[in-house]
Amino acid sequence: MAMKDLRTAVRNVPYVWSMLDLRLPPSDPVDRVLGKCQTIEDLRVAARARVPRPVFDFVDGAAGTECSLARSLEAFDRVYNHPGPVDAMSGTDVDLSVEVFGRRQAMPLVLGPTGFTRLAHTDGELAVARAAGSAGVPYTLSTPATCSIEAIAGIEAPPDLWFQLYVLRDRALTLDLLQRAKAEGYRVLVLTVDTPVAGDRRRDSRNGFSIPARIRPAGMLQMARHPGWIKDVVTSAPLDLASFPLAGQGDMWSRLKAIADSDFGFDEIAWVREMWDGPLVVKGILDAQLARRAVDLGADGVVVSNHGGRQLDRTIATLDALGPVVDAVGADASVFLDSGVREGADVAAAVALGATAVLVGRPYLYGLMAGGQRGVRHAIEIFRTGLDHHLRLLGVDAVAKLERHHVSLAPSPLTTVGVTASSAPARIRSVG
């Protein structure tokens, strides 16, 4: 090395030294995992490593060929953004808040209902509700929850509480659930209407999955690979349907199916309306005429949803169904979108196309599996930071200012056949 080069190298030592990041990784294992998760897909990968495959597949899987889930994910890749003036946006505070049924919340995100949540983590719905409360977004407790109506309402600083209802064959028991939810301060009722029977969950069948678990010899190796999950399970209360007792024999899933009412008629929305005096949202709508009918029967809102692809396979993508539903209900009801939301940009696209807010399920369950309550909060933060960044790039300083001219949605190419893992776009190849 020439003397001149050596002198230059010596002078540059402080500069090179300043570029070195010598910080030690976090000592807490959850912090280490979450620190590597920048996206919901990162949380999904972390979750898969944390829990046994049958549990992960129960959360991650969908019905049949999983085409409905794939289409819902793929639809967001067909969004074209149309930014406006972006000058001076870097120093602007972006208002992500939105008003939903008369209450202001931090952003247009609702943690949707998921059953048997304590399978993902022993803190289950309690962890999700606490994370929602700290983030300023609503949480929807499911009928087949593993923490009770009263337990969730009793946490410190609860979120805006919503309750999801399956109308049971026993109408008296259904009414009891409604009265208890109302007495405990649940503000919004979400009536699910797309579940006359359980979906064809092929991953669960292949895994021999049941609730509560019946571990086959082949599954013991899977369990042994996840000692942390096993320790949590054996040192916590047994899994149960916490909001109501069930009479009869068999496991919880069989007993739940035995009391579910597969003959629930759509017009009975009017009966639920009579029984509930707060905001009523009907979930599981993909058709504009049905959305209008639900509103005419008394609904204050509808959720455009294919149940995360877990019920009927090969449905239309929810983002494709959103526009016609918004046009059909007009100003008479709020419209929410569920299924396929994985990015802050997805939230912005749904709102621009007419949604009041979006519901998510799998994203926060991935966070729950990866890191408990902190993982759920991390998932919410991924949506918050992504939405903030996306609006700045669009040149929009408030969610309320998002309009249809900010995005366009290309037609779906998936018109005749289902999507398979090999033919799907890169974004959705990981659903299987």
| Mean pLDDT in order along the chain per 10 residues (432 residues) | 71 75 78 94 96 91 92 96 77 91 98 94 96 98 94 96 92 92 98 87 82 63 74 81 66 67 85 97 96 97 95 94 96 97 97 98 97 98 97 94 95 55 41 40
Q: Tokens for 263? A: 């003959």
pLDDT of residue 20: 75
Name the fold adopted by 59-431. TIM Barrel (3.20.20)
Around Cβ 191, how many Cβ atoms within 10 Å? 24
Q: Delimit the domains of the chain by residue range.
A: 59-431
pLDDT of residue 237: 84
pLDDT of residue 249: 52
pLDDT of residue 245: 65
CA distance 362 to 60: 7
pLDDT of residue 379: 98
CA distance 44 to 42: 5
pLDDT of residue 227: 78
pLDDT of residue 89: 66
pLDDT of residue 280: 98
pLDDT of residue 212: 61
The terminus-to-terminus CA distance of the chain in angstroms comes to 55
Of 415, 410, 393, nearest to 402 by C-alpha is: 393
pLDDT digits 0-9 by tens, 351-360: 999 999 999 9
pLDDT of residue 120: 93
pLDDT digits 0-9 by tens, 311-350: 999 999 999 999 999 999 999 999 999 999 999 999 999 9
* Model pTM above 0.85: yes
Catalytic residue numbers? 307
